[in-house]
Amino acid sequence: HRVERGDTRNFHQSTYANVAEHLRPLHVSGKIKDHKNVSIKWGVLKQTYNTIVTYHSKLGEHWDNECGANISGALAVESWGKYIAGNVHMKPFRNKGWEYLEYLEDIFPQG
């Protein structure tokens, strides 16, 4: 669905509505998701993706999708603590990757 993405890296409302409709048969419990819920979830996924890309590409820090930032050693732990104080979205990825990264890399190819 990459071609349905606009210049702002967001999809058109009709795409979100189609996703919600596609997910409806898979619904087990809780509120049935509509296009607004899908749009919000997409925003969260995109924010996480951008956080990882910024950490790795723009800051030049280590990243792999198995160990994440792979923080070990006292100096690295101290530096990491300072970094996540202002970048809380990276906190879950101290020593683990993100299961959706490859999917978002397909939507947002680099280079």
Query: What are the pLDDT digits (tens) for 13-68?
Result: 889 999 999 999 998 998 999 999 999 999 999 999 999 999 998 888 899 999 99
Q: Where are the beta strands (DSSP E) in the chain?
A: none
CB 45 within 8 A of CB 19: no
Please tell me the pTM assigned to this model: 0.82
What's the rounded Cα separation, in Å, for the pair 58 and 15? 30
